[in-house]
Chains A and B, each alone.
Chain A
């Protein structure tokens, strides 16, 4: 069964450094997402992406965050200057359609900011 793949599985970075999290969505999916889960908290929406542009973003997704689909297969999340509170599990997801379509999640990247 096709799956969403994320790399790396664990990323450790120092506060203030830039980090890029990578995802390969399912190949025939058109909508892409990033979610995160801080330890002990709920899974939170960050951003959705369709047709090479952001379709929706949350309050968390401020100017320090950006997303890109640099080629036909990868979908990346960049955090320009990481903060301690960015430490979380980051999940990439994709769906065939944007609405009324289940999201399929990757296994996540655990980001630890020290």
Chain B
């Protein structure tokens, strides 16, 4: 399933700086998008979501941007903190569909 792609397997960022994670999708029927964070030995934890009627959603340090024409979304984390070091998954679904399609994940390392 290549419908959701995270082309950067890893990202290293200094504490206090911005982390930008990218995600591309191929299915034009996707209209709900989510970001999850995952620590080792734990399940994915929901971070933030956005529906296709919006192009931005913000929750504290996390902001998701959606560019429907480019089939691209991004997650901005500002400022990055050591506890943000984790694997981040992008996921998407269609409005009449119960399943989420996941990207392969991006491992973020926040350096002190």
Contacts and interface: CB of A to CB of B under 8 A. Distances in A.
Contacts, number: 60
A45 B46 contact: no
A100 B95 contact: yes
Interface residues of A, number: 26
A45 B100 contact: yes
Contact of B1 (A42, A50, A55): A42
Q: How would you classify the secondary structure of chain A's contact residues: helix, strand, loop or mixed?
A: strand
Interface string B76-112: 0000000000000101010111111111110000000
B89 A103 contact: no
B42 A103 contact: no
21 contacts: A6-B43, A42-B102, A43-B89, A43-B100, A44-B1, A45-B100, A56-B98, A91-B44, A99-B32, A99-B95, A99-B98, A100-B51, A100-B95, A102-B34, A102-B49, A103-B46, A103-B100, A105-B43, A105-B45, A106-B43, A108-B43
